[in-house]
Amino acid sequence: MNQVDYLRISLIDRCNFRCQYCLPQGAELDYILRQELLTHEEIITLLKTVFIPLGFTKFRLTGGEPLLRPGVVDLVQDIAALPATEDLSMTTNGFLLSSMAQDLYNAGLKRINISLDSLKPETFETIIGYNKRGIWQQTWNGIQTAYQVGFDPLKLNVVVIPGVNENEIEDLAALSIERNWHIRFIEFMPIGNAELFSDNAWVPSEEIRQKIRDKWGLMESNIKGNGPADVFKIPGSKGTLGFISQMSECFCDRCNRMRLSADGWLRPCLLNETGQIDLKTLLRQGTDTTEIKEKVAHLLHIKPEINYKQRDSGTETGIYQRTMSQIGG
């Protein structure tokens, strides 16, 4: 059985973008009230008394947009300072990064994934649901700043959407040739955006690989990350290309993670809506942390069964109740 040692921690469900694959278009979301967010102290307590004693050593901060969380730099500092933390990373849309990258790095964040679905400002604006002038440039500046500050590896996440950014696959892949950047192509999943999703709404990773292979050739890379990406590279390039194929392949047997939502729900499997534990309520009711740890240990124990047998439980309609921004993608 895979060691589950990786926790993705959502810091906030709010976001300054409205990406069409992430949020239902037009609909207002019920945001988590500030008092319902796990506090800084609650997150640290859960790490120290529950997750680290159970063997978790790798943490990723996400959202929503994690850089919108007040006090995010302090939180990075405190998590990085925990002796058990082997790996601390963040997934961000990069919009606020140019002013925050240095502070985050100094606080102990060394790895970062930035979402960048297009190199064309207009297409970018269509995807992220905002047509504010300069928004692509500001995001690109954020990526450049992170690179200069020294984030290594620096990964760019691309969700490929047919008819929207599919024709940029080669241009985005080319970013890995001259720089040690890792471009990760993610198959679009039907989470939180049922109206956009149809059988041909996603591009299989193999199709993406073939386009790149046709242009430059493609070889398997010996660099492997913590996650489910299959890693390749263009021969002679400095960076790599990752493919996250949750639609066309099942990688549940490699799953090493759990997700903690900004309001404290611990989710054993991205696709399962029913097997979660409400850690925030337990903490605020004064439940002893030993007891909370036992509950999480039990969830870890039954996680393989949840992964395989109850994967889509709670989603019989094919529609997930929470969006990626709410789950903490």
What residue 186 binds from ligand SF4, ligand SAM, none (CB within 5 to 8 A, per partner kind)?
Answer: ligand SAM
Q: Does 324 bind ligand SF4 (CB under 6 A)?
A: yes
Which class for 236: exposed (0-12), middle (13-18), buried (19 or more C-beta within 10 A)? exposed
Within 10 angstroms of residue 250's Cβ, the number of other Cβ atoms is 14
Per CB under 6 A, the segment of 164-172, 184-192, 252-260, 304-312 that binds ligand SAM is 184-192
Q: How far apart are the C-alpha atoms of 36 and 293, rounded to whole Å?
A: 21
Our finding on whether 15 is near ligand SF4 (CB under 6 A) is yes
Shortest distance in whole angstroms from residue 277 CB to ligand SAM: 21
Name the one range near ligand SAM by CB under 6 A: 130-138, 160-168, 189-197, 307-315.
Answer: 189-197
- Closest to ligand SF4 by CB, 159 or 299: 159
- Which of 18, 40, 48, 322 contacts ligand SF4 by CB under 6 A? 18
Interaction between residue 12 and ligand SF4 (CB under 6 A): no
Number of residues that bind ligand SAM (CB under 6 A): 20
Out of 6, 17, 185, 188, which residue is the one contacting ligand SF4 (CB under 6 A)? Answer: 17
Nearest-angstrom CA–CA distance, 217 and 137: 31
For residue 23, the minimal CB distance to ligand SF4 (Å) is: 5
Work out whether 188 is an interface residue with ligand SF4 (CB under 6 A): no
Tell me which of ligand SAM, ligand SF4, none is bound by residue 23, counting a contact when its beta carbon lies within the kind-specific cut-off of 5 to 8 angstroms.
ligand SF4
Q: Give dist(CA 174, CA 132) in Å, integer.
A: 27
The whole-angstrom separation of Cα 48 and Cα 56 is 10
83 secondary structure, DSSP code = T
C-beta of residue 4 within 8 angstroms of C-beta of residue 258: yes
Structure tokens at 109: 């964040």
Residue 44, exposed/middle/buried by CB under 10 A (0-12, 13-18, 19+)? middle
**Overall size of the chain counted in residues:** 329
Nearest-angstrom CA–CA distance, 47 and 154: 25
Does position 5 interact with ligand SF4 (CB under 6 A)? The reply is no
Among 7, 9, 22, 203, binds ligand SF4 (CB under 6 A): 22
> Which residue, 84 or 247, has its beta carbon nearer to ligand SF4?
247
Bridge pairing between strands 87-92 and 58-62: parallel
Q: Which of 59, 325, 327, 328 binds ligand SF4 (CB under 6 A)?
A: 325
Label residue 293 left, alpha or beta by phi (over 0 means left) and psi (-120 to 50 means alpha): alpha
At position 80, the amino acid (one-letter code) is: A
Q: Which residues contact 64 (CB under 8 A, 6 or more apart)?
A: 10, 11, 12, 13, 14, 15, 262, 325, 326, 328
Residue nearest to ligand SAM (CB): 329
The verdict on 146 binding ligand SF4 (CB under 6 A) reads: no
Which among 58-66, 223-231, 252-260, 308-316 is the span making contact with ligand SAM, rule CB under 6 A? 58-66
Pairwise CA distance, residues 219 & 213, whole Å: 9
Q: Which stretch binds ligand SF4 (CB under 6 A): 62-70, 173-181, 200-208, 269-277?
A: 62-70
Task: Write each residue from 112 to 151 as x if it is in contact with ligand SAM (CB under 6 A), else as -, in one continuous string.
Answer: ---x------------------------------------
The residue assigned the tokens 């998590």 is 79
Q: Which two tokens stand for residue 235?
A: 């021969």
Interacting residues with ligand SAM (CB under 6 A): 15, 21-22, 62-63, 65, 91-93, 115, 157, 159, 186, 188-189, 191, 193, 324-325, 329
Q: Which residues bind ligand SF4 (CB under 6 A)?
A: 15, 17-19, 22-23, 63-65, 93, 115, 324-325
